[in-house]
Each structure stands twice: as C-alpha cells, then as structure tokens.
Structure 1
Amino acid sequence: MTEPVFSLKDIIVTVGDNIQILKSLNLDIYEGDFITVLGTNGAGKSTLFNTIAGNLSIDSGQLLHHGHSIAHDSAVTRTNYIARVFQDPKMGTAPRMTVAENLLLAEKRGQKRTLRNRGLTKEKLNEYAKITQVMGNNLDTRLNTATGNLSGGQRQALSFLMATRVKPELLLLDEHTAALDPKTSEQLMLATNEQVTKNQLTALMITHNLADALKYGNRLIILNAGDIVLDVRGQNKSDLNEADILKYFIA
C-alpha cells in the first residue's frame, strides 16, 4: 500500500471545560479512499472533521499531510487542499451571487479570489451547464439564478460542485444529505458517488444512514467515545450488514 495522503497519529483533542473528545485517535487516509464515517452523537465525528479542516487545534499527536505536519496550518491555508460540504445547504455558497458566479468563484480556490469582469463568457456558461446537468435536479437551468433562491437540494448540489470544481486532495462530506427530504437525499447521494468514483476523489463522509454507509465507499469506520472502534475496507466491508453495525451502537 502506498503512503497515506493524510495521517492522524495519537490525536487528542479537548474542548470546553477540558472535555476530551478525541482520545489517541489514529487514522491513515489513502489516495482514492471513500470512507463512510459512523458513530453515535458525541462519538467525535464532527470533531474529527473540524480537526482535519483546522477549525479545532490538537492537544497532542501528529496531523500529517504527505508526511509533513499541518498542525499549525490555519483552516484557510488548509482550504488549498481540503474541501468541505456541510449539512446546512446555506453554508458554502454566496446567496446573492448566481449559480454561475458561485462556480466561477470556486475555480479560484488556492488563488487570489476576484470576479473582475465576472469572466462569465458564453463558453464558460456552456461548461457550467454541462457540469450542473449531471446532478439531475435542473440546476443547469438556473445558472443565472441567485443561489439564495434555489431549493435546498439544488443549493446542496451546488455546494458539492463548488467543493470539487478544483479537485481537492481530501473532500469532507459532513452529513451533506441529512437536511434534505428522502428523495432529494437519495438523488444527491447517487450523484455524489458517481462524481467521487469517476474523478477518483479521496473523501470522508459522515452519515447516520446505515444503508448508505454500507452501500457507498470502499471503507467504513465507526467512532465511539473519541476513538475508532472499527475500520474495514473492501470485501470485509462488503460482508457487513446493518445488524453487524448496530452492535457498535449498543451502550
């Protein structure tokens, strides 16, 4: 197996009144991994994402990117190689900008962001029509619509497209379908899987949907009380069923 893209080694994170959330957690993330992340409320899932993204500092341990420590890199610096889609469709997009303008802005990740002259040529709009069409929710017909006027599903689809417009080294999907109705959630999940697989993205996806956790991805991890209690991939993951998973949720 090749060297991991990201490594978390003996990570300890405390919050608030000295409450330890992550407890000597270890995780290696390899290029092309699509890891579904399960765990009860308070298990440390969001803390794990916030730690990787730079929104929380570690108390001890090592957080490595290609073997180099990023523990002191700011969250802004980490956006050069980490992208995130949040549960709330309102996060990750600029509501007063159009769909096309948001996509143009996303192309500036890692660069000085400017929309001088907008840059929205006919060719660019045709390009955006093609990439939004794959989401299957008529987003391609709303390129000139202010993002704040989109449906929740369309806005979340746009957030996903923005996060992957410039291929990140790691994509964090933070319960990105949880706030949507079942039909829209399933539609976005299918589109997500297609794009992650087609573009060989490296991704972690928090979900509370056991069926999705088993169906999607090549790897599954379960957190409990701030540590990883199960980490399976390939055939070992395929052999799991919901009953196997539920055993880890029994107090």
Structure 2
Amino acid sequence: MKPALELKNITTLVNPGTSEEKQILKNLSLTLEAGDFVTLLGTNGAGKSTLLNVINGSLKPTMGKVILGDKDLTNLSEVKRATYISQVFQDPKVGTAPRMTVAENLLLALKRGQKRRLRLRNLRSHLAEFEELTAQLPNNLSERLHTFTGNLSGGQRQTLSFLMATITKPDILLLDEHTAALDPNTSSQLLKLTNDVVTKENLTCLMITHRLQDALRYGNRVIILNEGQVVLDTRDKEHLTEEKILTYFAN
C-alpha cells in the first residue's frame, strides 16, 4: 500500500539569487502513513508553517516533490489541492466567511472540491443534518446556525472552522496551531474534539503545536523540526518526555 503522503527532498528558498537568500526547508523528506496523527514541534523559524504551506500548495518548493497516494501534487495549485487537503489556521478569522451564517458556511464546506454551478443551494434540506452535526460540539454552535459567522466568539468560529475542514473526509488534515489563539478552556475543548474526530474517522493529520504537553498527549507520532530538517521522528511516545524534547530544540 502506498503512503498517504510523501515529501521527497523538499527544499525552499526565500529571496533566491539575492544577498538575503535563505533556505527554510533543507532537503527534507517525510512520509505519512494512512491514519497517522502527527504532532509537529519546533522553535520559531524551524520551518513548521513552511512545511504545511508546501503541502497545501500555497508555497511551491524550490526543489522536491509532493506525492499524495499515487498523485503528484507538486505543480497543482492550492485551489486544486483543496479537493484532497483541508486546513485549520491559527487565526479564527481565517477559514470562514464572516457575512455568511454558520449553516451557509457548512453548506459551502460540504461542497468542497465539487464543480460550482448556478443552481439552488437547497440550504433548508441540510439544516437537520447540520443541527445533528453541531449538537454534540462545544460552544453551543447548534443554537447559532442562523448567526453570521462574524458575530461568533473566537472559540465558536474556530470550532466551525474545524468542522468545515472535516465535514467531508479529507485525504490530509493540516492544523496550524489551531488552538493557540483561544483561552485555555476553549483550547482544551477543541483539542479533545480534534482528537475524537481524527481518531474516529481515522484521518491522516499533521498538527503543529507549541505545547509540549499536547504533543505528548495527542497523536501517535511526534516529529520535531530544527533549522528546516527533521531531527526527531518517533512513534515511541511512551519514552518521550518534555525534557528530552527540549534537547532537540537546543541542538
């Protein structure tokens, strides 16, 4: 069976050919198996967000290939990759349409990757489904289906973003510190929801976090980046401690 995702010899350059040229990712290779829930750690500037941008297509690598199953995505645009890849960003304002209601945003996400045509949206026929989807979520989203997303709290909006990213099962789910902007209680609720959905749906997920405790608590695999390279890739979380993780940041 082919891996879910392969990154082959990825190198990214910023300001190439100038005196300010800088290499972010350095000949990085990485393979994700189907169902992997990876927590990704690294100091600021280690290349974590750059890695996600290479996967989602918002940044084309200077060298290397991005392979999803048997598809070469390297030259596909971010829009075309959205058929296969979903992402939740750190900023709760990103990923939802503020002037659309919660239900309208969910309907939009339900049609991700499909061809858009001029036709009736049939929102009413999906309301019962959306009520059921949101009924067990935190933040009382089920009571806000007809509320404009711009009027939601940060926690409600980020929970909606996560639901939109997973409402149709993506091949790859990318989470870029998606709880970092939330208060501790809301962050904890969303992380629990994340773990429940990723585990239940057997999603292949790459989650950036800055909290060592969360990296140890969630997922089946820890990867640490340092200066654009993988310095630790382990599934042996039982013997991994915060103190040991910090040694990789120092090297």
| TM-score range for the pair, normalised by the shorter chain length | over 0.9
Q: What is the RMSD of the two structures over their aligned residues, measured on CA atoms? A: 1.3
2:59 matched to which residue of 1? 56
The CA distance in 2 between the partners of 1:49 and 1:12, in whole Å, is: 13
**2:4 touches 2:204 (CA, 8 Å); kept in 1?**
no
In the alignment, which of 92, 96, 103 is matched to residue 93 of structure 1?
96
1:245 matched to which residue of 2? 245
1:35 matched to which residue of 2? 38
Distance 1:221 1:115, change over 3 A: farther
Matches within 5 A, 1:167-246: 167-233=169-235, 236-246=236-246
In the alignment, which of 83, 86, 95 is matched to residue 83 of structure 1?
86
Instruction: Give the Å deviation of 1:136.
Output: 1.8
Normalising by structure 1, report the TM-score.
Answer: 0.95
Instruction: Give the Å deviation of 1:173.
Output: 0.3
SS of residue matched to 2:174: strand
In the alignment, which of 165, 168, 180 is matched to residue 167 of structure 2?
165
Residue identity over aligned pairs, in percent, reads 60
What's the CA shift string for 1:28-71, capped at 9, x where partnerless? Answer: 01110000000000000000000011111111122211243211
What's the CA shift string for 1:106-137, capped at 9, x where partnerless? Answer: 0111112468433122x521211111122222
Instruction: Give the Å deviation of 1:203.
Output: 0.4
1:146 matched to which residue of 2? 148
SS of residue matched to 2:203: coil
Normalising by structure 2, report the TM-score.
Answer: 0.95
The CA distance in 1 between the partners of 2:126 and 2:41, in whole Å, is: 39
What's the CA shift string for 1:167-214, capped at 9, x where partnerless? Answer: 100000010000000010001000111011111111000000110000
Query: After the TM superposition, which segments of 4 or more aligned residues of structure 1 sit over 4 Å from their partners?
Result: none
1:131 matched to which residue of 2? 133
The CA distance in 1 between the partners of 2:242 and 2:163, in whole Å, is: 30
